[in-house]
Structure 1
Amino acid sequence: MEKIRIDKWLWAARFYKTRTLATEEIGKGRVQVNGQDVKPAREVHAGELVTLRQGPSIRTVTVRGISGSRGPAPVAQALYEETPDSLAARTKAAEQRRLAPEPALSIDRGRPTKRQRRELDNAGDPWGQRWSASIKD
Structure 2
Amino acid sequence: MTRLDVWLWSVRLYKTRSAANKAVDGGHVRLNDAPVKPAHSVVPGDVVTVREPGWERRYEVTQTIQKRVGAPVARTCYIDRTPAKPEYLLAGPVARRDRGAGRPTKKDRREIERLIGADPATSRRAR
Whether these two folds match at TM > 0.5 is yes
**Mapped partners of 2:68, 2:93: distance in 1:** 38
Residue identity in the other structure for 2:89? R
- Counting matched residue pairs gives 102
Q: Which whole-Å deviations, capped at 9, do the CAs of 1:39-60 have from their partners, x for residues lacking one?
A: 0110000001110123444101
- Rg comparison, structure with higher value: 1
Aligned to 1:87: 83
Residue identity in the other structure for 1:12? S
**Mapped partners of 2:2, 2:69: distance in 1:** 16
In the alignment, structure 1 segments of 5+ residues that lack a partner are 113-137
Residue identity in the other structure for 2:43? H
RMSD: 2.4
Aligned to 1:60: 58
Residue identity in the other structure for 2:76? A
Matches within 5 A, 1:18-97: 18-83=16-81, 86-88=82-84, 90=85, 93=86, 95-97=87-89
**Mapped partners of 2:89, 2:15: distance in 1:** 24
Counting aligned pairs with the same residue, the percent is 34
Residue identity in the other structure for 1:79? C
Q: Tell me the TM-score normalized by structure 2.
A: 0.70
Residue identity in the other structure for 2:16? T
Q: Tell me the TM-score normalized by structure 1.
A: 0.65
In the alignment, structure 2 segments of 5+ residues that lack a partner are 104-127
Q: State the SS of the aligned residue for 1:87.
A: coil
Structure 2 CA distance for partners of 1:79 and 1:25, relative to 1, 3 Å? same
Determine if contact 2:54/2:89 at 8 Å carries over to the other structure. Answer: no
Which of 75, 84, 99 is 2:91 aligned to? 99
**Mapped partners of 1:100, 1:10: distance in 2:** 28
Structure 1 or 2: larger helix share?
A: 1
